[in-house]
Chain A
Amino acid sequence: GAVVSQHPSWVICKSGTSVKIECRSLDFQATTMFWYRQFPKQSLMLMATSNEGSKATYEQGVEKDKFLINHASLTLSTLTVTSAHPEDSSFYICSASPRTSYGYTFGSGTRLTVV
């Protein structure tokens, strides 16, 4: 149980275009989902907390207008990287927890390359 599905697994886009990444909880409802970014050989950095039906909470230094988060249902959160640039190339991972004492489950991640 507690499966989180993330798509796409990898994407290559041209500089200036936008990319949408989907994160779905398959067998539980997730009021809250978390988006992380990981650069090569670095740890996971929390970008934002996605809340169903309300605005996301962004971490300091993360541009909310560039990284648009929509959590329209209890099973789906999306991250849109707008006007992507090569420096946005990274590994993006979503996470959610079905309940306290269960732990967190991660999606398989999306490797974004902006050329």
Chain B
Amino acid sequence: QKEVEQNSGPLSVPEGAIASLNCTYSDRGSQSFFWYRQYSGKSPELIMFIYSNGDKEDGRFTAQLNKASQYVSLLIRDSQPSDSATYLCAGGGANQAGTALIFGKGTTLSVSS
């Protein structure tokens, strides 16, 4: 059974702080990892994806992947109230066009002003 585990939270941080979201996965065959943000009642929107071990930065977001530990994380710097949402971690195969994503249950982030 392929699984992606996330702490459901809620994770509460003050505005301007760093929010750290974590995720583990069970399938060593997973090749790609994705972080999505989902606002209540809306469809998920892609924040970042990562394939290689190490860090990948995009603006205020940094994704980290450690395949040996089967661990993925997302850091959000300078957190804003608009970042308050549910963050979904997902793992996928090498052939994204033909392989579905497996999602974690999501971590709810609350950024207070």
Contact = CB atoms under 8 A, between A and B. Distances in A.
Contacts of B69: none
Contacts of A102: 96
Interface in B22-77: 34, 36, 41-46, 49, 51
A93 B101 contact: no
A59 B59 CA distance: 37
B67 to A, nearest CB: 17
Interface stretch (A14-22, A40-48, A64-72): A40-48
A82 B104 CA distance: 28
Interface string A88-110: 00010101111111111111110
A80 interface: no
B103 A43 contact: yes
A79 to B, nearest CB: 14
B42 to A, nearest CB: 7
Interface residues of B, number: 24
A49 to B, nearest CB: 6
A107 B43 contact: yes
* Interface residue tally on A, bucketed by range: 20 to 34
Contact of A97 (B97, B103, B105): B97
Contact of B43 (A98, A99, A106): A106
Contacts of B96: 97, 99-104
Nearest to B92: A104
Interface of B: 34, 36, 41-46, 49, 51, 88, 92, 94-98, 100-106
Interface of A: 6, 30-32, 34, 36, 42-46, 49, 91, 93, 95-109, 111
Given A6-B43, A95-B101, 13 more contacts: A30-B97, A34-B100, A36-B103, A42-B105, A46-B100, A46-B102, A96-B97, A101-B96, A103-B34, A104-B101, A106-B44, A107-B43, A111-B41
